Amino acid sequence: MEYSPLTSVAQLLAGLHDPDLLLLDCRFDLADPQAGERAWRAGHIPGAHFASMDHDLAAPRHPGSGRHPLPSPAQFAQVLGRWGFTDSSRVVAYDQANGAGAARLWWMLRAIGHRTVSVLDGGFAAWTAAGGAVDDQLPQVAATTVAARAFAGVVTSDELQRALEDGRVTLVDARAADRFAGRNETIDPVAGHVPGALNHPFTGNLGADQHWLPAAELRSRWHVELQRAARAPLVAMCGSGITACHNLLALDLAGHPGAQLYAGSYSEWIADPARPVATGE
């Protein structure tokens, strides 16, 4: 049976005492790297471990990389072992609300072949709004030994550049429209986007209440990209490979799994000044 990419607050409440449940708090703030851990220490869903975007879900930046390069398979296996992960784990990841951080963890686990992983719809905000319990206790678990597994479905910068030159890819950028157009770049040193990319801001996968849209609405919103993807496979990107995973989860919900991730994303693309950059819509 296929495992849903989303878990509702009601479903989590009902299964909170499942011995195979592994809760992971993925709250983060790009402008304040310590904000997520501070929030977790102040209060989290009981039993949740903290998953640091910079230290657990990414490796240190290095010359030529993007801002959040994927950890090596061995590094990620060590992180999972610290959390007590096993092949039987039913993982639920959450962040503050919109799922951007949680979707990165969802994708990473799916990419190493773990199917029972989902994102809490509405995140911590929905949990507290529903009266869910919160505590500040540090979870105590026995560490496990996890086999290192390579991430599947990853596209490198060189592979992407060749695919773009040959017209063999539908590249979709999850950044906000103003950053994509190069009008409001506050993070990366070069404004603009990869030439040939389409813009589909990840926020368009959510309703005003920060819950994920129904599958039918997602299929409608992704109609143009999916039409093109029927001819050239879809690759998701963003600034550094985080919110691109939000789009990959949305596509999965819409019934179109299997799209690939340009993990280095725009921050890696511009690390080589020889690579072209476009501006405008």
Contact 89, 118 (CB under 8 A): no
For residues 44 and 23, what is the distance between their CA atoms, to the nearest angstrom?
10
Residue 234, helix vs strand vs coil = strand
Q: Write out the catalytic residue numbers.
A: 238
- Bridge partners (DSSP) of residue 60 are none
CB atoms within 10 A of CB 81: 16
State the SS3 of 8-53: CHHHHHHCCCCCCEEEEECCCCCCCCCHHHHHHHHCECCCCEECCC
Residue 214 structure tokens: 């129904």
Distance of CA 153 to the CA centre of its chain: 14
Q: Characterize the bridge pairing of strands 49-50 and 6-7.
A: unpaired
The two tokens of residue 62 are: 């290095």
- The DSSP symbol for 202 reads G
